[in-house]
Amino acid sequence: MPEHVSILQLTGVAVLALASVVWVFGLTRILRRSLAEPTAWHPAHPLHGLPNQRDTAPHRESVELTPAEHDAFAGLVRQLSDGR
């Protein structure tokens, strides 16, 4: 054991090495399990990591503006588009 390395540093290196070995072992098992399943994608087998998609679009909401609000919005658009 080198004299300039503390026990805490040696323990840290050992823990990191052990964590690396466990990570590689787990990754190998996951990859082997995924390769054992059929590689062709079918609609009957959805992707588990993605949420289910809707069949319809969400309901659209709209609000009628008063003439004063419409004019204020048009003025805001003109003000913001002057810089372009």
- Between CA 45 and CA 47 the distance in angstroms is 7
Instruction: Give the residue, 38 or 52, on which the prediction is more confident.
Output: 52
Predicted pLDDT of residue 71: 95
Residue 37 pLDDT > 90, yes or no?
no
Predicted pLDDT of residue 69: 95
| Token couple for 83 | 């810089």
| Token couple for 37 | 């399943």
- Between CA 5 and CA 45 the distance in angstroms is 53
Average pLDDT over residues 56-64: 85
Predicted pLDDT of residue 50: 74
Instruction: Give the residue, 30 or 84, on which the prediction is more confident.
Output: 30
Instruction: Give the residue, 40 or 59, on which the prediction is more confident.
Output: 59
Q: How is residue 51 annotated by DSSP?
A: P
